[in-house]
Amino acid sequence: MAAAVKALNAKIRSNPVADYLCSTHFWGPASNFGIPLAAVMDTNKPEELISGPMTIALMGYSGTFMRYALAVQPKNWLLFGCHVVNFGAQSTQGYRYLNYWKFGGREKSLEAKAKEGAESIVDSAKGAAEQAKGKAKEVADKVKS
């Protein structure tokens, strides 16, 4: 059994592509890509859900491992790319967090929601007024006839 495993390993390691696909240089970054994908998807979520401390921690994590990916031999470009994407997504989230909580984005958002609510009230009031006007006209027509 050990000889069969050793022969299979030798066959895999003799092919450079198979060797790479069976290495931690591939599977480490491949399994790690869930973090940047989640970060990119989170850019569509509301700003009030962003955690500032977690964003800073993930930026530090990605910055550290970008450096690590280039420090190991051979350089792990897939890991580097994974952390570049994550660092970019976390930077975007950090900007959104600061804009919302520190630079007036929250107030603008609340103001826009208030205006939207006021407009819907005005629209419904206009609709009710038109409906009342139509009913009044019906009553007036019945009285005339």
In a domain, 130, yes or no: yes
Query: Is residue 9 situated within a structural domain?
Result: no
Torsional class of 74: left (φ above 0), alpha (ψ -120 to 50), beta (otherwise):
beta
In a domain, 76, yes or no: yes
- Domain span at residue 73 reads 14-144
- Asked if residue 20 is part of any domain, the answer here is yes
7 in a structural domain: no
2 lies in some domain: no
Over residues 87-126, the pLDDT tens digits come to 999 999 999 999 999 888 767 776 777 777 777 777 787 8
Q: What is the pLDDT of residues 15-53, one digit of tens each?
A: 777 777 777 777 877 788 888 899 899 999 999 899 999
Residue 63 inside a domain? The answer is yes
Residue 3 lies in a domain: no
76: left (phi over 0), alpha (psi -120 to 50) or beta: beta
Number of domains in the chain: 1
Q: Respond yes or no on whether the N-terminal peptide bond of residue 74 is cis (omega within 30° of 0).
A: yes
pLDDT (tens digit per residue) in 48-95: 899 999 999 999 999 999 999 999 888 989 899 999 999 999 999 999
